[in-house]
Amino acid sequence: MPYWSLGYPDAETSLRVIEAIARAGADMIELGVPFSDPLADGPVIQRANQIALEHGITVSRCIEIAARARAAGIVAPFLTMGYLNPVIAYGEARYVTDWQRAGADGLIVPDLPPEECQTLKGECDARRMALVQFAAPTSTDERIRLAALHATGFIYIVSVAGVTGARDKLAEGLRDYVLRVKSLAGDTPVVVGFGISKPEHVREVGQFADGVIVASALIRAAGDAPDPAQAAFEFVQALKYWER
């Protein structure tokens, strides 16, 4: 599940990148909605967000890019990753409705705790949209069960106690941590993100998780390339090769 910030480095290029990611074989695509204070993100995604915002990206323009991607024939599920402040400013019902009409399959809202998700979850449920919940290395068993209770789509496992960013090595004890979450999550799939940066990471984590998210490493590899779409295609294709 590759991630790309919509509007980075500009709207048209981000559309071409999403199309390239799909052609490369992404099973799902995480569409980032840029925000000025992305508290869960490290410097690579922060920079991408800031550049997109400086180029005039908004929630409405993000939705437009996603709709154009669907119109171009992309069938891979879209999960939109955006922070709560823009959701509230846009209007929760309108936000879910407009994303659903654009072809999105679910929402990822990293700063929305499960105790406060009922309104947004109700809007998502009414439109058959997933609302992803999170588990962190510091999560207690009780907290993981709460996330599983409210999660639709999957549980997003944060692999490290920190922000997003490519790392050379996987977190120590990641396999045991993921298996603990799976044992408490019932039938809800678990997908691992944060720090996954290499094809061999994808291959290893794929042996014990239901999915893998690659974000900062892709942004770093393709964002400043002469042809970001081609660079993204090659990067994701390499991940798919190792997955097999």
Could you give the residue numbers annotated as active site?
Answer: 30, 41
Beta bridge partners of 135: 157
Closest Cα partner for 118 from 99, 98, 86, 146?
Answer: 146
- Rounded to a whole number of angstroms, the distance between the first and last alpha carbons of the chain is 15
User: In whole angstroms, what is the distance from residue 159 CA to residue 3 CA?
Assistant: 16
The values of phi and psi at residue 80, to 5°, are: -90, 130
* Helix residue ranges per DSSP H, 173-215: 174-185, 199-205
Look-up of token digits 């720090």: 195
3-state secondary structure of 147: helix
The string of DSSP codes covering 221-242 is HHTTSSSHHHHHHHHHHHHHHH
Closest Cα partner for 10 from 204, 224, 180, 153?
Answer: 224
Burial of 196 (0-12, 13-18, 19+ CB in 10 A): buried
Closest Cα partner for 204 from 234, 169, 158, 238?
Answer: 169
